[in-house]
Chains A and B, each alone.
Chain A
């Protein structure tokens, strides 16, 4: 029983990070119908900025804030400079551009910060909490991870549901031409959407890096899991991304915890889960069933 609880807690923590990363992908997909393959290396870049600050003696929190702000700027620059010129062209063009960007940013990280494995600190301890006589797999750091993702999601909900700028962003995403005719500066909203997505992606990168070694390609597996989570959820639904991330996190944790040599099977399991869901529900778990007649 205790083993099950621990495996579950580990899965939830990991799943939260997948959710955050999937959410970043969904934010961009919803507004620009582009799958941003560069999301992972963009997040890696800001994580390395944070690491440089920490190594220079700054606190984790200063580094976190600077990294998230760099994400904001990086996302905006990428949309304006790299994506805007290919927007409106064939859909595949933009996707290929993000793939190129993925490789380019990873190379840039290696040039600037080197390719060596470097350990990334955590702001809180990695020792599990004591419950009775046992230590459970919930650590102060995993509480921080879960709280950070939940707060971020709550802030996004508030932004999109209750603010004028959030409404303008949703209008731009779902009805570009109509939004323009109603005076919404759609271009700015798309830039803002990419910037916010990059912040959320950066947060996921920072959280997954905590207590681990980072190197230019350290985000690669998270990219895969993030995509699987996003597609599980339907790619179009923020709630779907969150649920997809949690399902994936739990499932992978059970596989690695209960299946013999399961940790080696995690990547295969992710693929199997994705295939099964897509066979049963081709649009993903949270695909809107109503046809759109915009």
Chain B
């Protein structure tokens, strides 16, 4: 085990990986269970503006549960979730997007029966009337879905679906984007394209991304900070570069 090098669940590395000062999103000692299984066991982490934070770990490490608990789909049994200084631990799921948090769930979350454009519109519903230029911007980011704008979303390929749900989340004008396994089932070229785009958005617009990935190599290549989960606990939090260089840790938890 590589536990000797773990920084502990609350420790935060200072070597350029994480920012000081108040975090945009702060998860404090979060615990939650599915039935008798404790999926998260005292997880703490932070996500900052202008950074991509990647949560890594094997299947069953608690990555998806973490995102679902943060956005309120799963209720925590203890711990807190703080967004921009406000405790949102028990806020309703529906209110999250209005608070600036957009969660793209696992499995893409395209509404297959709606057209591509209608899917985008759902992302902006809570904001009331939205300028056409905002849709144009999303279509400029993802020209491939622009071509299919009036087709039902079930005709999209996996990569196009991922582009659509990210575009839809962006229309909600989030401050933080929660992405659950965006690379799942996609060709490496598409993954690189999507991650590259995320990097540009984060750098140019001060977005924060909390990215959950099993594909640790791709995720670390784009992320600023990595958080490694194992069996519901944080094993280590460090800069992506440091984690990438740590061969023992990679072998033990990240599978590459």
Residues of A within 8 A of B (CB): 164, 167-168, 170-171, 174-175, 177-186, 290, 292-294
Cα separation A175 to B97 with both chains bound (whole Å): 16
Give a binary string over B172-210; 1 marks a CB under 8 Å from any A CB, 0 the rest.
100000000000000000000000000000000000000
The reply on B94 being an interface residue by CB < 8 A is yes
Chain A, interface SS category? helix
Cα separation A262 to B118 with both chains bound (whole Å): 48
* Total of A-B residue pairs, C-beta within 8 Å: 81
Residues of A within 8 A of B94 (CB): 180, 183-186
**Are A293's CB and B172's CB within 8 A?**
no
**Are A174's CB and B114's CB within 8 A?**
yes
Cα separation A177 to B67 with both chains bound (whole Å): 14
**Are B154's CB and A293's CB within 8 A?**
yes
**Are A174's CB and B125's CB within 8 A?**
no
**Are A167's CB and B97's CB within 8 A?**
no
Give a binary string over B113-145; 1 marks a CB under 8 Å from any A CB, 0 the rest.
110001001110110000000000000000000
Q: How far is the CB of A221 from chain B (nearest CB, A)?
A: 32
The reply on B98 being an interface residue by CB < 8 A is yes
The contact size tier of chain B is 20 to 34
Q: How far is the CB of B212 from chain A (nearest CB, A)?
A: 15
User: Can you give 5 A-B contacts (C-beta < 8 A)?
Assistant: A171-B111, A171-B122, A181-B97, A181-B109, A184-B122
Cα separation A167 to B93 with both chains bound (whole Å): 19
Give a binary string over B63-100; 1 marks a CB under 8 Å from any A CB, 0 the rest.
00000000101000000000000000000011111100
Q: How far is the CB of B19 from chain A (nearest CB, A)?
A: 27
In the complex where A183-B97, A183-B125, A183-B126 touch, is A290 in contact with B154 (Cβ < 8 A)? yes
**Are A174's CB and B113's CB within 8 A?**
yes
Residues of B within 8 A of A185 (CB): 94
The reply on B46 being an interface residue by CB < 8 A is no
Residues of B within 8 A of A180 (CB): 73, 93-94
Cα separation A183 to B96 with both chains bound (whole Å): 7
**Across the A-B interface, the 5 shortest Cβ-Cβ residue pairs:** A183-B126, A183-B97, A175-B111, A178-B109, A174-B113
Residues of B within 8 A of A174 (CB): 111-114
**Are B95's CB and A170's CB within 8 A?**
no
Q: How far is the CB of B190 from chain A (nearest CB, A)?
A: 17
Of A164, A171, A184, A290, the contact of B114 (CB 8 Å cutoff): A171
Cα separation A123 to B125 with both chains bound (whole Å): 41
Extra contacts, 9 of them, besides A168-B125, A175-B109 (Cβ < 8 A), are A170-B111, A175-B111, A177-B109, A178-B105, A178-B122, A179-B111, A181-B103, A290-B154, A293-B154
Residues of A within 8 A of B104 (CB): 181
In this complex, the member of B110, B111, B121 whose beta carbon has the largest number of chain A beta carbons within 10 angstroms is B111
Cα separation A145 to B121 with both chains bound (whole Å): 36
**Are B125's CB and A167's CB within 8 A?**
yes
- Chain B's closest residue to A174 (CB) is B113
- Chain B's closest residue to A175 (CB) is B111
In the complex where A180-B93, A181-B105, A181-B109 touch, is A292 in contact with B154 (Cβ < 8 A)? yes
